[in-house]
Structure 1
């Protein structure tokens, strides 16, 4: 299962409103023992988040879904706001940040990383 964005996905991200703020939805499924590794990744990623203007809006454990198909339950949910898609792209391309991404990759068995756009802006795009 995929846990890291591909180069093509990152390139596509920058083509749509690259200078507009974006909130990234993170749905995480931990590998066995992965929760501790993800917490270490989060601790080490925090300075990069600040450096690129990001802000953790919400982080919480996933509960039992009320409406979902089998296999759609997630261990954790995060919402992270970035000042722009470009800022997010620059962060993930930062060589120092890339050194810690193995922690994230090893911690997860599956993930969704989805950019979101506020409904109030939908008509402008």
Structure 2
């Protein structure tokens, strides 16, 4: 079940907004057609992302985890780049995105959303 932390989102959106941010999506699909519904969601979401200057940087299926311990595998990983934090805020408030979001939520059994910022000099 998808459950967003309102406190975490408010903190994320209240911090500096001058730099791009990449949103890491670790996804576990619903067993009954989740992958197919997620692909439908992506088809709906891509043009909306583009309107807000955002786009998918990478999307791929999870393969076997190579580490031991508490690590668990995910069905898919998607990286979405936003030009700034407010672009994310504006997109999720968009009525057209709200329709797509319902399709996406129906596809997902579990998800981790983690915003990432670039490390200066790394790339």
Asked if these proteins are the same fold (TM beyond 0.5), I'd say yes
Quote the residue 1:14 is aligned against. Answer: 13
1:77 maps to 77
Q: Is the 8 A contact 2:65 2:71 kept in 1?
A: no
* 1:10–1:89 CA contact under 8 A, matched in 2: no
In 2, the alpha carbon distance for the partners of 1:67 and 1:16 equals: 33
Gaps of 5+ in 1: none
Residue 19 of structure 1 contacts residue 84 of structure 1 at CA under 8 Å; is this kept in 2? yes
Inter-CA distance 93–6: structure 2 relative to 1 (3 Å threshold): farther
Query: Which ranges of 4 or more aligned residues in structure 1 deviate by more than 3 Å?
Result: 68-71
Deviation at 1:5, TM superposition (A): 2.5
User: Contact conserved, 1:63 with 1:73, CA < 8 A, in 2?
Assistant: yes
Residue 52 of structure 1 deviates from its aligned partner by: 0.3
Q: What is the DSSP-based 3-state SS (H/G/I as helix, E as strand, rest coil) of the residue aligned with 1:120?
A: coil
| Partner residue, 1:49 | 49
RMSD: 1.7
Q: How far apart are residue 15 of structure 1 and its match?
A: 1.5
Secondary structure of the corresponding residue to residue 120 of structure 2: helix
The C-alpha deviation readout for 1:23-76, integer Å capped at 9, x for no partner, is 010100000110000000000001110000002110000001011545721000
TM-score normalised by length of structure 2: 0.89
What is the rounded CA distance, in whole Å, between the counterparts of 1:24 and 1:68 in structure 2? 25
The unaligned stretches of length 5 or more in structure 2 are none
Shift in alpha-carbon separation, 1:68–1:11, aligned structure 2, 3 A:
farther
Q: Which moved more, 1:40-49 or 1:66-75?
A: 66-75
**1:114 aligns to what?**
114
Question: How many Å separate the matches in 2 of 1:42 and 1:117?
Answer: 23
